[in-house]
Chains A and B, each alone.
Chain A
Amino acid sequence: MISQGIASSLTVEISFWVISISTILSAIAVVQIKDLFRASLFLILTFLGVAGLFILLGAEFLAGIQLMIYVGAISVLIIFAILMTREIEISNQSHYMRILVSMVALGFMLLAISLITSTDWNLIDSRSFPQNQTDEIIATVQNSIPTLSKMLLTEYVLAFEMVGVLLLAAVLGALALVREKK
Protein backbone atom coordinates (compact mmCIF):
# COMPACT_ATOMS: atom_id res chain seq x y z
CA MET A 1 0.00 0.00 0.00
CA ILE A 2 1.31 3.41 -0.78
CA SER A 3 1.09 5.11 2.58
CA GLN A 4 2.53 2.27 4.63
CA GLY A 5 5.60 2.30 2.40
CA ILE A 6 8.51 0.90 4.31
CA ALA A 7 6.65 -1.53 6.54
CA SER A 8 8.54 -4.81 6.58
CA SER A 9 12.09 -5.33 5.49
CA LEU A 10 11.88 -8.55 3.46
CA THR A 11 9.05 -7.27 1.26
CA VAL A 12 10.96 -4.06 0.66
CA GLU A 13 14.12 -6.02 -0.12
CA ILE A 14 12.40 -8.32 -2.62
CA SER A 15 10.48 -5.50 -4.27
CA PHE A 16 13.61 -3.37 -4.49
CA TRP A 17 15.54 -6.05 -6.35
CA VAL A 18 12.63 -6.99 -8.61
CA ILE A 19 11.88 -3.36 -9.45
CA SER A 20 15.45 -2.23 -9.98
CA ILE A 21 16.45 -5.23 -12.09
CA SER A 22 13.36 -4.89 -14.29
CA THR A 23 13.95 -1.13 -14.57
CA ILE A 24 17.54 -1.61 -15.71
CA LEU A 25 16.62 -4.44 -18.10
CA SER A 26 13.82 -2.40 -19.68
CA ALA A 27 16.12 0.62 -19.92
CA ILE A 28 18.59 -1.55 -21.84
CA ALA A 29 15.73 -2.86 -23.98
CA VAL A 30 14.73 0.71 -24.89
CA VAL A 31 18.04 1.28 -26.66
CA GLN A 32 18.60 -2.26 -27.93
CA ILE A 33 15.21 -3.23 -29.43
CA LYS A 34 14.82 -2.33 -33.10
CA ASP A 35 11.02 -2.07 -33.14
CA LEU A 36 10.43 1.56 -32.13
CA PHE A 37 6.95 0.96 -30.75
CA ARG A 38 8.14 -1.82 -28.45
CA ALA A 39 11.08 0.32 -27.41
CA SER A 40 8.66 3.04 -26.33
CA LEU A 41 6.63 0.47 -24.38
CA PHE A 42 9.82 -0.53 -22.57
CA LEU A 43 10.42 3.16 -21.87
CA ILE A 44 7.04 3.20 -20.11
CA LEU A 45 8.10 0.14 -18.11
CA THR A 46 11.25 2.03 -17.10
CA PHE A 47 9.15 4.99 -15.95
CA LEU A 48 6.91 2.65 -13.95
CA GLY A 49 9.98 1.06 -12.36
CA VAL A 50 11.31 4.47 -11.34
CA ALA A 51 7.89 5.27 -9.84
CA GLY A 52 8.15 2.02 -7.88
CA LEU A 53 11.59 3.01 -6.58
CA PHE A 54 10.18 6.36 -5.46
CA ILE A 55 7.47 4.53 -3.50
CA LEU A 56 10.12 2.37 -1.84
CA LEU A 57 11.95 5.54 -0.85
CA GLY A 58 8.79 6.85 0.81
CA ALA A 59 8.28 9.57 -1.81
CA GLU A 60 4.74 8.67 -2.88
CA PHE A 61 4.03 12.14 -4.18
CA LEU A 62 6.99 11.97 -6.54
CA ALA A 63 5.84 8.52 -7.66
CA GLY A 64 2.38 9.86 -8.48
CA ILE A 65 3.84 12.79 -10.39
CA GLN A 66 6.11 10.35 -12.23
CA LEU A 67 3.06 8.34 -13.32
CA MET A 68 1.02 11.39 -14.30
CA ILE A 69 3.68 13.27 -16.24
CA TYR A 70 5.99 10.60 -17.64
CA VAL A 71 3.59 7.70 -18.20
CA GLY A 72 0.43 9.72 -18.76
CA ALA A 73 1.73 12.58 -20.85
CA ILE A 74 5.29 12.26 -22.14
CA SER A 75 5.18 8.64 -23.27
CA VAL A 76 1.79 9.22 -24.91
CA LEU A 77 3.43 12.08 -26.80
CA ILE A 78 6.36 9.86 -27.81
CA ILE A 79 4.01 7.11 -29.02
CA PHE A 80 1.99 9.68 -30.95
CA ALA A 81 5.17 10.80 -32.68
CA ILE A 82 6.16 7.19 -33.41
CA LEU A 83 2.78 6.23 -34.84
CA MET A 84 2.92 9.28 -37.11
CA THR A 85 6.32 8.26 -38.50
CA ARG A 86 6.55 6.31 -41.72
CA GLU A 87 8.17 2.87 -41.86
CA ILE A 88 8.13 2.33 -38.12
CA GLU A 89 9.37 -1.24 -38.17
CA ILE A 90 12.58 -0.56 -40.07
CA SER A 91 13.56 2.66 -38.35
CA ASN A 92 15.75 2.85 -35.25
CA GLN A 93 18.68 1.67 -37.36
CA SER A 94 20.41 5.00 -37.83
CA HIS A 95 23.72 3.96 -36.31
CA TYR A 96 25.95 6.24 -38.35
CA MET A 97 26.66 8.41 -35.30
CA ARG A 98 27.24 5.43 -33.05
CA ILE A 99 30.67 6.43 -31.72
CA LEU A 100 29.71 10.04 -31.03
CA VAL A 101 26.50 9.04 -29.26
CA SER A 102 28.20 6.44 -27.10
CA MET A 103 30.87 8.99 -26.11
CA VAL A 104 28.19 11.49 -25.04
CA ALA A 105 26.26 8.78 -23.17
CA LEU A 106 29.44 7.64 -21.41
CA GLY A 107 30.17 11.23 -20.43
CA PHE A 108 26.71 11.61 -18.92
CA MET A 109 27.09 8.32 -17.07
CA LEU A 110 30.43 9.39 -15.57
CA LEU A 111 28.91 12.74 -14.57
CA ALA A 112 25.98 10.97 -12.90
CA ILE A 113 28.29 8.57 -11.03
CA SER A 114 30.50 11.41 -9.82
CA LEU A 115 27.41 13.32 -8.65
CA ILE A 116 26.07 10.28 -6.82
CA THR A 117 29.36 9.61 -5.04
CA SER A 118 29.99 13.25 -4.12
CA THR A 119 26.51 13.95 -2.72
CA ASP A 120 26.08 14.01 1.04
CA TRP A 121 23.16 11.60 1.36
CA ASN A 122 22.82 11.74 5.16
CA LEU A 123 21.11 15.08 4.97
CA ILE A 124 18.91 14.65 8.01
CA ASP A 125 21.65 13.19 10.21
CA SER A 126 24.26 15.77 9.28
CA ARG A 127 22.20 18.70 10.50
CA SER A 128 21.70 18.87 14.20
CA PHE A 129 18.03 19.13 14.97
CA PRO A 130 16.74 20.03 18.41
CA GLN A 131 15.18 17.12 20.24
CA ASN A 132 11.64 18.59 20.08
CA GLN A 133 11.65 18.70 16.29
CA THR A 134 12.09 14.97 15.80
CA ASP A 135 8.35 14.27 15.79
CA GLU A 136 7.85 16.95 13.19
CA ILE A 137 10.52 15.43 10.97
CA ILE A 138 8.98 11.97 11.27
CA ALA A 139 5.56 13.42 10.37
CA THR A 140 7.08 15.19 7.37
CA VAL A 141 8.73 12.01 6.14
CA GLN A 142 5.52 10.04 6.55
CA ASN A 143 3.29 12.55 4.77
CA SER A 144 5.42 14.87 2.70
CA ILE A 145 2.77 16.66 0.64
CA PRO A 146 1.87 19.47 3.09
CA THR A 147 5.53 20.32 3.73
CA LEU A 148 6.41 20.03 0.06
CA SER A 149 3.59 22.32 -1.06
CA LYS A 150 4.34 24.87 1.66
CA MET A 151 8.01 24.97 0.68
CA LEU A 152 7.15 25.24 -3.03
CA LEU A 153 4.85 28.21 -2.47
CA THR A 154 7.00 30.07 0.06
CA GLU A 155 10.73 29.42 0.08
CA TYR A 156 11.12 28.03 -3.44
CA VAL A 157 8.38 30.07 -5.08
CA LEU A 158 10.82 31.44 -7.66
CA ALA A 159 11.52 27.97 -9.05
CA PHE A 160 7.77 27.28 -9.08
CA GLU A 161 7.07 30.49 -10.99
CA MET A 162 9.89 29.77 -13.42
CA VAL A 163 8.31 26.41 -14.25
CA GLY A 164 5.06 28.27 -14.92
CA VAL A 165 6.85 30.72 -17.24
CA LEU A 166 8.53 27.80 -19.03
CA LEU A 167 5.19 26.09 -19.62
CA LEU A 168 3.68 29.36 -20.83
CA ALA A 169 6.57 29.77 -23.26
CA ALA A 170 6.00 26.21 -24.51
CA VAL A 171 2.29 26.92 -25.07
CA LEU A 172 3.03 30.17 -26.89
CA GLY A 173 5.67 28.44 -29.00
CA ALA A 174 3.24 25.69 -29.97
CA LEU A 175 0.61 28.30 -30.89
CA ALA A 176 3.14 30.24 -32.97
CA LEU A 177 4.11 27.07 -34.82
CA VAL A 178 0.60 25.98 -35.77
CA ARG A 179 -0.79 29.44 -36.52
CA GLU A 180 -1.93 29.91 -40.06
CA LYS A 181 0.22 32.36 -41.98
CA LYS A 182 -1.71 34.94 -43.92
Chain B
Amino acid sequence: MNFQEILKYFVYAGMIFTVLAGIAAYLTLMERKVLAWIQQRMGPKYVGFKGILQPLADGIKLVIKEDLLPSWSDRTVYWIAPIAVLVPALLMWVAIPITDGIVLDDSDLGLFYITAISVLTVMGLVMAGWGSANKWAVMGGLRAAGQLVSYEIPFIMSILAIAMLAQSLNLTEIVNQQTTFAFILKQPLAFVIFFIAGLAELGRIPFDIHHAESEVVGGPFVEYSGAHWAVFYLAEYMNTFTVAVLTTILFLGGWVWPQMPFEGSLHDFLSILLFMFKTVAVIYLIFWIRGTYPRLRIDQLMAFGWKLLVPLSFLNVVITSIVLFYGFSHFVLSAVSIFLTGVLFYMISNRSKKYDSGETVRIVSSSQVRDNQNFKEPL
Protein backbone atom coordinates (compact mmCIF):
# COMPACT_ATOMS: atom_id res chain seq x y z
CA MET B 1 0.00 0.00 0.00
CA ASN B 2 1.36 3.36 -0.91
CA PHE B 3 0.36 6.87 -1.72
CA GLN B 4 0.12 6.20 -5.46
CA GLU B 5 -2.51 3.55 -4.98
CA ILE B 6 -4.73 5.89 -2.94
CA LEU B 7 -4.23 8.60 -5.58
CA LYS B 8 -5.23 6.09 -8.26
CA TYR B 9 -8.54 5.38 -6.53
CA PHE B 10 -9.25 9.09 -6.22
CA VAL B 11 -8.48 9.66 -9.90
CA TYR B 12 -10.77 6.78 -10.89
CA ALA B 13 -13.57 8.07 -8.69
CA GLY B 14 -13.19 11.58 -10.12
CA MET B 15 -13.13 10.19 -13.65
CA ILE B 16 -16.34 8.17 -13.16
CA PHE B 17 -18.08 11.16 -11.63
CA THR B 18 -17.02 13.65 -14.30
CA VAL B 19 -17.85 11.43 -17.26
CA LEU B 20 -21.19 10.33 -15.84
CA ALA B 21 -22.16 13.86 -14.85
CA GLY B 22 -21.42 15.03 -18.40
CA ILE B 23 -23.44 12.18 -19.88
CA ALA B 24 -26.32 12.86 -17.47
CA ALA B 25 -26.30 16.56 -18.37
CA TYR B 26 -26.54 15.81 -22.07
CA LEU B 27 -29.22 13.19 -21.48
CA THR B 28 -31.43 15.98 -20.13
CA LEU B 29 -30.95 17.86 -23.39
CA MET B 30 -31.63 14.72 -25.40
CA GLU B 31 -34.78 14.04 -23.39
CA ARG B 32 -36.08 17.56 -23.95
CA LYS B 33 -35.33 17.38 -27.67
CA VAL B 34 -36.95 13.95 -28.07
CA LEU B 35 -40.03 15.02 -26.13
CA ALA B 36 -40.19 18.18 -28.24
CA TRP B 37 -40.09 16.15 -31.47
CA ILE B 38 -42.83 13.87 -30.19
CA GLN B 39 -44.99 16.85 -29.23
CA GLN B 40 -44.14 18.82 -32.42
CA ARG B 41 -42.25 21.59 -30.63
CA MET B 42 -38.75 22.98 -31.11
CA GLY B 43 -37.26 22.18 -27.72
CA PRO B 44 -34.37 24.21 -26.29
CA LYS B 45 -32.68 26.10 -29.16
CA TYR B 46 -31.29 29.47 -28.03
CA VAL B 47 -28.23 28.59 -25.89
CA GLY B 48 -25.40 27.73 -28.25
CA PHE B 49 -25.88 26.11 -31.64
CA LYS B 50 -29.40 24.52 -31.63
CA GLY B 51 -29.42 24.58 -27.83
CA ILE B 52 -26.22 22.54 -27.45
CA LEU B 53 -25.11 24.52 -24.37
CA GLN B 54 -28.48 24.32 -22.63
CA PRO B 55 -27.34 21.73 -19.99
CA LEU B 56 -24.48 24.06 -19.02
CA ALA B 57 -26.87 26.97 -18.57
CA ASP B 58 -29.23 24.77 -16.55
CA GLY B 59 -26.36 23.63 -14.36
CA ILE B 60 -25.16 27.18 -13.66
CA LYS B 61 -28.70 28.27 -12.90
CA LEU B 62 -29.25 25.40 -10.46
CA VAL B 63 -25.97 25.95 -8.64
CA ILE B 64 -26.48 29.68 -8.08
CA LYS B 65 -30.10 29.20 -7.07
CA GLU B 66 -30.96 29.74 -3.40
CA ASP B 67 -31.00 26.56 -1.34
CA LEU B 68 -34.08 26.50 0.85
CA LEU B 69 -34.48 24.50 4.05
CA PRO B 70 -37.94 23.87 5.51
CA SER B 71 -37.97 24.94 9.16
CA TRP B 72 -39.56 21.68 10.38
CA SER B 73 -37.14 19.45 8.52
CA ASP B 74 -34.84 16.85 10.02
CA ARG B 75 -31.69 18.64 8.85
CA THR B 76 -29.07 15.89 8.90
CA VAL B 77 -31.33 13.43 7.11
CA TYR B 78 -32.39 16.16 4.69
CA TRP B 79 -28.81 16.96 3.65
CA ILE B 80 -27.56 13.37 3.53
CA ALA B 81 -30.44 12.11 1.33
CA PRO B 82 -29.11 13.45 -2.04
CA ILE B 83 -25.73 11.84 -1.35
CA ALA B 84 -27.41 8.55 -0.43
CA VAL B 85 -29.09 8.58 -3.84
CA LEU B 86 -26.02 9.65 -5.81
CA VAL B 87 -23.43 7.29 -4.30
CA PRO B 88 -25.05 3.97 -5.38
CA ALA B 89 -25.50 5.41 -8.89
CA LEU B 90 -21.72 5.97 -9.03
CA LEU B 91 -20.75 2.75 -7.22
CA MET B 92 -22.40 0.60 -9.90
CA TRP B 93 -19.92 1.84 -12.48
CA VAL B 94 -17.03 0.07 -10.77
CA ALA B 95 -18.10 -3.19 -12.42
CA ILE B 96 -19.65 -2.08 -15.73
CA PRO B 97 -17.48 -2.59 -18.83
CA ILE B 98 -17.76 -0.24 -21.83
CA THR B 99 -15.78 -2.52 -24.10
CA ASP B 100 -13.41 -5.46 -23.75
CA GLY B 101 -10.88 -4.33 -21.13
CA ILE B 102 -12.27 -0.86 -20.38
CA VAL B 103 -13.61 -1.55 -16.89
CA LEU B 104 -12.36 -0.64 -13.42
CA ASP B 105 -12.86 -4.06 -11.87
CA ASP B 106 -13.56 -7.02 -14.13
CA SER B 107 -14.97 -8.99 -11.26
CA ASP B 108 -16.39 -12.51 -11.46
CA LEU B 109 -19.21 -11.18 -9.32
CA GLY B 110 -19.91 -8.10 -11.45
CA LEU B 111 -23.59 -8.72 -12.14
CA PHE B 112 -24.26 -9.74 -8.56
CA TYR B 113 -22.46 -6.64 -7.28
CA ILE B 114 -24.59 -4.39 -9.50
CA THR B 115 -27.86 -5.93 -8.33
CA ALA B 116 -26.71 -5.65 -4.71
CA ILE B 117 -25.79 -1.96 -5.10
CA SER B 118 -28.94 -1.09 -7.04
CA VAL B 119 -31.16 -1.78 -4.00
CA LEU B 120 -29.49 1.02 -2.00
CA THR B 121 -31.22 3.85 -3.91
CA VAL B 122 -34.50 3.27 -2.03
CA MET B 123 -33.05 4.47 1.26
CA GLY B 124 -32.05 7.85 -0.15
CA LEU B 125 -35.57 8.49 -1.46
CA VAL B 126 -37.19 7.49 1.85
CA MET B 127 -34.70 9.69 3.72
CA ALA B 128 -35.49 12.63 1.45
CA GLY B 129 -39.19 12.10 2.03
CA TRP B 130 -38.85 11.92 5.78
CA GLY B 131 -36.29 14.71 6.12
CA SER B 132 -38.47 17.19 4.23
CA ALA B 133 -41.19 17.06 6.93
CA ASN B 134 -43.83 17.40 4.26
CA LYS B 135 -46.82 15.12 3.84
CA TRP B 136 -46.39 14.81 0.08
CA ALA B 137 -42.72 14.06 0.50
CA VAL B 138 -43.43 11.32 3.07
CA MET B 139 -46.13 9.86 0.82
CA GLY B 140 -43.71 9.97 -2.11
CA GLY B 141 -41.00 8.30 -0.07
CA LEU B 142 -43.36 5.51 0.95
CA ARG B 143 -44.53 5.05 -2.62
CA ALA B 144 -40.92 4.92 -3.79
CA ALA B 145 -40.09 2.25 -1.22
CA GLY B 146 -43.10 0.13 -2.16
CA GLN B 147 -42.52 0.46 -5.88
CA LEU B 148 -38.79 -0.12 -5.88
CA VAL B 149 -38.96 -3.15 -3.58
CA SER B 150 -41.76 -4.70 -5.68
CA TYR B 151 -40.04 -4.26 -9.01
CA GLU B 152 -36.66 -5.45 -7.75
CA ILE B 153 -37.96 -9.03 -7.85
CA PRO B 154 -38.72 -9.25 -11.60
CA PHE B 155 -35.60 -7.12 -12.27
CA ILE B 156 -33.31 -9.58 -10.47
CA MET B 157 -35.16 -12.66 -11.77
CA SER B 158 -34.74 -11.60 -15.40
CA ILE B 159 -31.03 -10.99 -14.74
CA LEU B 160 -30.85 -14.44 -13.14
CA ALA B 161 -32.15 -16.11 -16.33
CA ILE B 162 -29.39 -14.38 -18.29
CA ALA B 163 -26.75 -15.43 -15.76
CA MET B 164 -27.96 -19.03 -16.11
CA LEU B 165 -27.77 -18.83 -19.88
CA ALA B 166 -24.26 -17.33 -19.83
CA GLN B 167 -23.11 -19.56 -16.96
CA SER B 168 -21.29 -16.56 -15.53
CA LEU B 169 -21.78 -13.42 -13.47
CA ASN B 170 -18.86 -11.64 -15.12
CA LEU B 171 -20.22 -8.93 -17.43
CA THR B 172 -17.39 -9.21 -19.97
CA GLU B 173 -17.90 -12.97 -20.10
CA ILE B 174 -21.66 -12.50 -20.57
CA VAL B 175 -21.03 -10.22 -23.54
CA ASN B 176 -18.53 -12.66 -25.05
CA GLN B 177 -21.14 -15.43 -24.85
CA GLN B 178 -23.33 -13.47 -27.26
CA THR B 179 -21.01 -13.53 -30.27
CA THR B 180 -23.38 -15.52 -32.50
CA PHE B 181 -26.78 -14.88 -30.90
CA ALA B 182 -27.56 -11.96 -28.63
CA PHE B 183 -29.57 -12.96 -25.58
CA ILE B 184 -32.55 -10.90 -26.75
CA LEU B 185 -33.04 -13.57 -29.45
CA LYS B 186 -32.95 -16.39 -26.90
CA GLN B 187 -34.79 -14.59 -24.10
CA PRO B 188 -37.12 -11.90 -25.45
CA LEU B 189 -39.35 -12.31 -22.39
CA ALA B 190 -36.47 -11.62 -20.00
CA PHE B 191 -35.62 -8.55 -22.08
CA VAL B 192 -39.16 -7.17 -21.86
CA ILE B 193 -39.39 -7.87 -18.11
CA PHE B 194 -35.94 -6.37 -17.49
CA PHE B 195 -36.78 -3.26 -19.47
CA ILE B 196 -40.18 -2.68 -17.82
CA ALA B 197 -38.83 -3.39 -14.33
CA GLY B 198 -35.84 -1.17 -15.12
CA LEU B 199 -38.19 1.70 -16.03
CA ALA B 200 -40.00 1.13 -12.73
CA GLU B 201 -36.73 1.08 -10.79
CA LEU B 202 -35.78 4.38 -12.40
CA GLY B 203 -39.17 5.83 -11.54
CA ARG B 204 -39.71 7.07 -15.08
CA ILE B 205 -43.07 7.53 -16.76
CA PRO B 206 -45.26 5.38 -16.87
CA PHE B 207 -43.98 4.29 -13.44
CA ASP B 208 -43.28 7.68 -11.85
CA ILE B 209 -45.94 7.56 -9.14
CA HIS B 210 -43.46 8.43 -6.40
CA HIS B 211 -42.77 11.88 -7.80
CA ALA B 212 -45.96 12.32 -9.82
CA GLU B 213 -46.66 16.07 -9.98
CA SER B 214 -50.44 15.73 -10.07
CA GLU B 215 -50.63 13.35 -7.10
CA VAL B 216 -47.77 13.95 -4.66
CA VAL B 217 -46.57 17.29 -6.13
CA GLY B 218 -42.93 16.26 -6.43
CA GLY B 219 -42.70 13.38 -4.03
CA PRO B 220 -39.49 13.24 -2.02
CA PHE B 221 -38.02 16.16 -3.99
CA VAL B 222 -40.79 18.65 -3.25
CA GLU B 223 -38.81 20.71 -0.72
CA TYR B 224 -35.44 20.53 -2.45
CA SER B 225 -34.13 23.31 -4.60
CA GLY B 226 -30.94 24.42 -6.28
CA ALA B 227 -27.90 22.17 -6.21
CA HIS B 228 -29.44 19.52 -3.96
CA TRP B 229 -32.39 19.08 -6.28
CA ALA B 230 -29.91 18.87 -9.15
CA VAL B 231 -28.07 16.02 -7.41
CA PHE B 232 -31.27 13.92 -7.37
CA TYR B 233 -31.80 14.48 -11.06
CA LEU B 234 -28.14 13.82 -11.80
CA ALA B 235 -28.54 10.45 -10.06
CA GLU B 236 -31.75 9.74 -11.96
CA TYR B 237 -30.17 10.37 -15.35
CA MET B 238 -27.04 8.43 -14.38
CA ASN B 239 -29.30 5.50 -13.48
CA THR B 240 -31.13 5.85 -16.79
CA PHE B 241 -27.80 5.59 -18.57
CA THR B 242 -26.82 2.62 -16.39
CA VAL B 243 -30.03 0.73 -17.19
CA ALA B 244 -29.52 1.41 -20.91
CA VAL B 245 -25.93 0.17 -20.75
CA LEU B 246 -26.97 -2.91 -18.78
CA THR B 247 -29.70 -3.67 -21.33
CA THR B 248 -27.08 -3.42 -24.06
CA ILE B 249 -24.64 -5.65 -22.20
CA LEU B 250 -27.12 -8.29 -21.04
CA PHE B 251 -29.48 -8.54 -24.00
CA LEU B 252 -28.25 -6.71 -27.08
CA GLY B 253 -24.86 -8.36 -27.34
CA GLY B 254 -22.76 -5.44 -26.06
CA TRP B 255 -19.86 -4.77 -28.39
CA VAL B 256 -19.64 -8.22 -30.06
CA TRP B 257 -23.00 -8.74 -31.78
CA PRO B 258 -23.36 -8.50 -34.74
CA GLN B 259 -19.72 -9.19 -35.52
CA MET B 260 -17.62 -6.45 -37.09
CA PRO B 261 -15.90 -7.34 -40.35
CA PHE B 262 -12.54 -5.63 -39.77
CA GLU B 263 -9.41 -6.44 -37.76
CA GLY B 264 -7.17 -4.54 -35.36
CA SER B 265 -7.82 -1.04 -34.05
CA LEU B 266 -10.54 -0.31 -36.63
CA HIS B 267 -12.44 -3.30 -35.24
CA ASP B 268 -12.10 -1.98 -31.67
CA PHE B 269 -13.24 1.48 -32.72
CA LEU B 270 -16.28 0.10 -34.53
CA SER B 271 -17.09 -2.10 -31.53
CA ILE B 272 -17.22 0.90 -29.20
CA LEU B 273 -19.30 2.77 -31.77
CA LEU B 274 -21.71 -0.17 -31.99
CA PHE B 275 -21.99 -0.32 -28.22
CA MET B 276 -22.74 3.39 -28.00
CA PHE B 277 -25.26 3.20 -30.83
CA LYS B 278 -27.18 0.44 -29.04
CA THR B 279 -27.09 2.34 -25.74
CA VAL B 280 -28.41 5.51 -27.36
CA ALA B 281 -31.14 3.49 -29.06
CA VAL B 282 -32.25 2.06 -25.70
CA ILE B 283 -32.19 5.52 -24.10
CA TYR B 284 -34.23 6.84 -27.04
CA LEU B 285 -36.76 4.06 -26.42
CA ILE B 286 -36.99 5.08 -22.73
CA PHE B 287 -37.63 8.73 -23.70
CA TRP B 288 -40.07 7.66 -26.39
CA ILE B 289 -42.10 5.69 -23.83
CA ARG B 290 -42.03 8.73 -21.57
CA GLY B 291 -43.43 10.88 -24.35
CA THR B 292 -46.24 8.55 -25.34
CA TYR B 293 -47.56 6.69 -22.29
CA PRO B 294 -49.77 8.01 -19.45
CA ARG B 295 -48.88 7.40 -15.83
CA LEU B 296 -50.17 4.28 -14.10
CA ARG B 297 -52.31 4.54 -11.00
CA ILE B 298 -50.68 3.13 -7.84
CA ASP B 299 -52.96 0.08 -7.61
CA GLN B 300 -52.45 -0.65 -11.30
CA LEU B 301 -48.70 -0.40 -10.81
CA MET B 302 -48.66 -2.81 -7.88
CA ALA B 303 -51.06 -5.23 -9.59
CA PHE B 304 -48.98 -5.17 -12.76
CA GLY B 305 -45.79 -5.85 -10.85
CA TRP B 306 -47.01 -8.57 -8.53
CA LYS B 307 -49.64 -10.34 -10.63
CA LEU B 308 -47.96 -10.25 -14.01
CA LEU B 309 -44.23 -9.51 -13.96
CA VAL B 310 -43.27 -11.53 -10.87
CA PRO B 311 -44.98 -14.81 -11.94
CA LEU B 312 -43.72 -14.46 -15.52
CA SER B 313 -40.15 -13.81 -14.38
CA PHE B 314 -40.24 -16.88 -12.12
CA LEU B 315 -41.71 -18.94 -14.97
CA ASN B 316 -38.91 -17.66 -17.20
CA VAL B 317 -36.26 -18.88 -14.73
CA VAL B 318 -37.93 -22.29 -14.48
CA ILE B 319 -38.14 -22.66 -18.27
CA THR B 320 -34.53 -21.60 -18.70
CA SER B 321 -33.37 -24.13 -16.13
CA ILE B 322 -35.42 -26.92 -17.74
CA VAL B 323 -33.96 -26.16 -21.17
CA LEU B 324 -30.42 -25.98 -19.78
CA PHE B 325 -30.77 -29.09 -17.60
CA TYR B 326 -32.10 -31.37 -20.32
CA GLY B 327 -29.80 -29.82 -22.91
CA PHE B 328 -32.61 -28.85 -25.31
CA SER B 329 -31.80 -26.63 -28.25
CA HIS B 330 -31.88 -22.92 -27.46
CA PHE B 331 -34.44 -22.51 -30.25
CA VAL B 332 -36.96 -24.16 -27.91
CA LEU B 333 -36.16 -21.50 -25.35
CA SER B 334 -36.63 -18.75 -27.96
CA ALA B 335 -39.98 -20.18 -29.08
CA VAL B 336 -41.35 -20.50 -25.53
CA SER B 337 -40.03 -17.08 -24.62
CA ILE B 338 -41.61 -15.42 -27.66
CA PHE B 339 -44.91 -17.13 -26.86
CA LEU B 340 -44.79 -15.87 -23.26
CA THR B 341 -43.91 -12.37 -24.45
CA GLY B 342 -47.04 -12.51 -26.58
CA VAL B 343 -49.01 -13.59 -23.51
CA LEU B 344 -47.53 -10.67 -21.55
CA PHE B 345 -48.54 -8.11 -24.18
CA TYR B 346 -52.00 -9.70 -24.49
CA MET B 347 -52.47 -9.46 -20.72
CA ILE B 348 -51.32 -5.82 -20.72
CA SER B 349 -53.78 -4.79 -23.44
CA ASN B 350 -56.65 -6.81 -21.93
CA ARG B 351 -56.01 -5.52 -18.46
CA SER B 352 -56.12 -1.88 -19.50
CA LYS B 353 -59.55 -2.46 -21.09
CA LYS B 354 -60.80 -3.98 -17.86
CA TYR B 355 -59.54 -1.00 -15.88
CA ASP B 356 -61.14 1.48 -18.26
CA SER B 357 -64.62 0.07 -17.65
CA GLY B 358 -64.23 0.01 -13.89
CA GLU B 359 -63.12 3.58 -13.25
CA THR B 360 -63.94 5.17 -9.92
CA VAL B 361 -64.57 8.52 -11.60
CA ARG B 362 -66.91 8.52 -14.59
CA ILE B 363 -67.50 11.34 -17.00
CA VAL B 364 -71.21 11.65 -17.84
CA SER B 365 -73.08 14.24 -19.82
CA SER B 366 -75.70 16.42 -18.12
CA SER B 367 -78.51 14.84 -20.17
CA GLN B 368 -77.56 11.39 -18.88
CA VAL B 369 -77.78 12.69 -15.35
CA ARG B 370 -81.20 14.25 -15.96
CA ASP B 371 -82.61 11.08 -17.51
CA ASN B 372 -81.36 8.93 -14.64
CA GLN B 373 -84.25 8.06 -12.34
CA ASN B 374 -82.09 7.76 -9.25
CA PHE B 375 -80.49 11.17 -9.67
CA LYS B 376 -81.40 13.72 -7.02
CA GLU B 377 -81.22 17.43 -7.67
CA PRO B 378 -78.68 19.11 -5.42
CA LEU B 379 -80.42 21.19 -2.74
Q: In the docked arrangement, what's the CA distance between A80 and B169, Å?
A: 32
Show 30 residue pairs from A and B whose CB-CB distance is below 8 angstroms, ordered by the A residue: A1-B94, A2-B94, A2-B107, A2-B113, A3-B105, A3-B108, A9-B1, A38-B74, A41-B77, A41-B127, A63-B116, A64-B109, A64-B115, A65-B116, A68-B115, A68-B116, A71-B123, A72-B119, A72-B120, A72-B149, A72-B152, A73-B149, A76-B123, A76-B145, A79-B145, A80-B142, A83-B126, A83-B142, A145-B108, A145-B109
19 A-B pairs besides A2-B113, A76-B123, A145-B112 with CB distance below 8 A are A2-B105, A2-B109, A3-B105, A11-B1, A35-B74, A37-B77, A60-B109, A60-B113, A64-B112, A68-B115, A68-B116, A68-B156, A71-B120, A71-B123, A73-B149, A76-B145, A79-B126, A83-B130, A143-B108
Whether B1 pairs with A8 at a CB distance below 8 angstroms is: yes
The 8 lowest CB-CB distance pairs between A and B, nearest first, are A72-B119, A64-B116, A10-B1, A3-B107, A1-B105, A8-B1, A67-B116, A11-B1
Residue A132, interface by CB 8 Å: no
On A, residues with C-beta under 8 Å from B are 1-4, 8-11, 35, 37-38, 41, 44, 60-61, 63-65, 67-68, 71-73, 75-76, 79-80, 83, 143, 145
B: residues with CB less than 8 A from A are 1, 5, 74, 76-77, 94-95, 104-105, 107-109, 112-113, 115-117, 119-120, 122-123, 126-127, 130, 138, 141-142, 145-146, 149, 152, 156, 169
Query: What is the interface of chain A mostly: helix, strand, loop, or mixed?
Result: helix
Question: What is the bound-complex CA distance between A167 and B180, given in angstroms?
Answer: 40
Interface residues of chain B: helix, strand, loop or mixed (majority)? helix
- Chain A contacts of B119 at CB under 8 A? 67-68, 71-73
**CB nearest neighbor in B for A89:** B74
CB-CB under 8 A from A44, the residues of chain B are: 123
CB nearest neighbor in A for B80: A41
Residues on A with beta carbons closer than 8 Å to the beta carbon of B77: 37-38, 41
Let me know if A1 and B116 touch, CB within 8 A: no
Closest to A72 in B: B119
Complex contacts, B109 vs chain A, CB 8 Å: 2-3, 60-61, 64, 143, 145
Output the least CB separation between A101 and chain B (Å).
Answer: 27
> How far in angstroms is the closest Cβ of chain B from A73?
6
Closest residue of B by beta carbon distance from A37: B130
Q: How far is the CB of B168 from chain A (nearest CB, A)?
A: 10
Report the bound CA distance from A37 to B126 in whole Å: 10
A71 to B95, CA, bound (A): 20
Chain B residues near A35: list those with CB within 8 A: 74
> A75 contacts B123, CB within 8 Å?
yes
Residue of A nearest to B120 (CB): A71
From A35, A41, A73, A145, name the one whose CB has the most chain B CB atoms within 10 angstroms. A41
List, in ascending order, chain B residues with CB within 8 A of A41's CB. Answer: 77, 123, 127
In the complex formed, the residue of B with least CB distance to A8 is: B1
In the complex, chain A residues whose CB is within 8 Å of the CB of B122: 72, 76
Instruction: Please name all residues of chain A whose beta carbon is closer than 8 Å to the beta carbon of B116 when the two chains form the complex.
Output: 63-65, 67-68, 72
Complex alpha-carbon distance, A156 and B142, angstroms: 38
Q: Are B123 and A37 in contact (CB under 8 A)?
A: no
Q: Determine which residue in B5, B119, B156, B169 has the highest number of CB atoms from chain A within 10 A of its CB, and name it.
A: B119
List, in ascending order, chain A residues with CB within 8 A of B138's CB.
Answer: 83
Known contacts A10-B1, A37-B77, A61-B112; A1 and B107 CB within 8 A of each other: yes
CB distance from A20 to the nearest CB of B (A): 19
Which residue of B has the minimal Cβ distance to A82? B130
> Whose C-beta in chain A lies nearest to the C-beta of B117?
A67
